[in-house]
């Protein structure tokens, strides 16, 4: 699971939808792996526009990265160093194993072999 994707997922339980605590999920006991990928600045800029920055900062901190600025950086177009850093963080960083916890309902989702599993047990499915 790429770190970018953590910005697009939340708890699958219907009653958690809309709760501030169900997004982003809390990432625990994660193993990370870097996978080299082609650097596409235009793509990073486009993703940055839609990324929920606060959620990204929180997930990065869960994973041990406390270097992100508190506010979404502006004028990134000409800042190649920053774009490359974001590329490494968002696209090249894979979560290979770990847990994702919903802080609203407490449900734990697992990531195994880089694949997050969001299927719910019957009592949580509607």
Partner 1 sequence: MEKDEKIAWRFMDFYDTKRTSFYVSVKCLYLSVRQVVIMSGNLQPTKAQILKNLEAFKNVDTPEKKEEIYVHEVYNKISAHFSQTRYKPWPFVQQFLSELPDNLLGVDVGCGNGKYLSVNKKLYIVGSDYSTGLIQQARMLHKDEESNDILIADGLQLPHPDGIFDFALSIAVIHHFSTKERRENAIKEILRVLRFHGKALIYCWALEQEHSRRGYHDGMDQDVLVPWVLMKKQKKKKKNNISSIDKNKSEASDKKDCNTQNTESGDNVKPDTKMRYYHLYKKGELNEDCAEAGGK
Instruction: Give the interface with partner 1 as residue ranges (CB under 8 A).
Output: 1-2, 4-5, 8-14, 17-18, 23, 35, 37-38, 40, 42-43, 46-47, 50, 91, 109, 113-120, 122, 125-126
Considering only CA atoms, which of 21, 37, 15, 22 is closest in space to residue 4?
37
Considering only CA atoms, which of 113, 114, 116 is closest in space to residue 24?
116
Which is closer to partner 1, CB of 66 or CB of 126?
126
**Sequence-ordered alpha helix ranges (H) in the chain:** 41-50, 53-62, 80-87
Which is closer to partner 1, CB of 35 or CB of 77?
35
Q: What is the DSSP letter of 74?
A: S
Least separation, in Å, of the C-beta of 115 and partner 1?
Answer: 6
Which is closer to partner 1, CB of 68 or CB of 102?
102
Least separation, in Å, of the C-beta of 124 and partner 1?
Answer: 9
Question: Exposure pattern of 109-122 as b/e (b: 16+ CB <10 Å)?
Answer: bebeeeebeeeeee
Least separation, in Å, of the C-beta of 67 and partner 1?
Answer: 22
Q: Is 99 helix (H, G, I), strand (E, B) or coil?
A: strand
Which is closer to partner 1, CB of 2 or CB of 99?
2
Least separation, in Å, of the C-beta of 10 and partner 1?
Answer: 5
């Amino acid at each position: 699971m790429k770190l970018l994707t953590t910005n697009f997922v939340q708890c699958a339980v219907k009653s958690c939808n809309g709760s501030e605590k169900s997004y982003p999920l809390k990432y625990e006991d994660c193993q990370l792996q870097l996978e080299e990928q082609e650097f596409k600045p235009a793509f990073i800029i486009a993703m940055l526009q839609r990324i929920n920055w606060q959620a990204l900062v929180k997930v990065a901190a869960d994973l041990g990265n406390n270097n992100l600025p508190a506010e979404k950086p502006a004028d990134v177009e000409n800042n190649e160093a920053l774009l490359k850093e974001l590329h490494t963080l968002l696209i090249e960083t894979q979560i290979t194993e770990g847990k994702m916890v919903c802080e609203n309902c407490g449900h734990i989702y697992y990531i195994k072999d880089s694949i997050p599993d969001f299927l719910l047990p019957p009592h949580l499915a509607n």
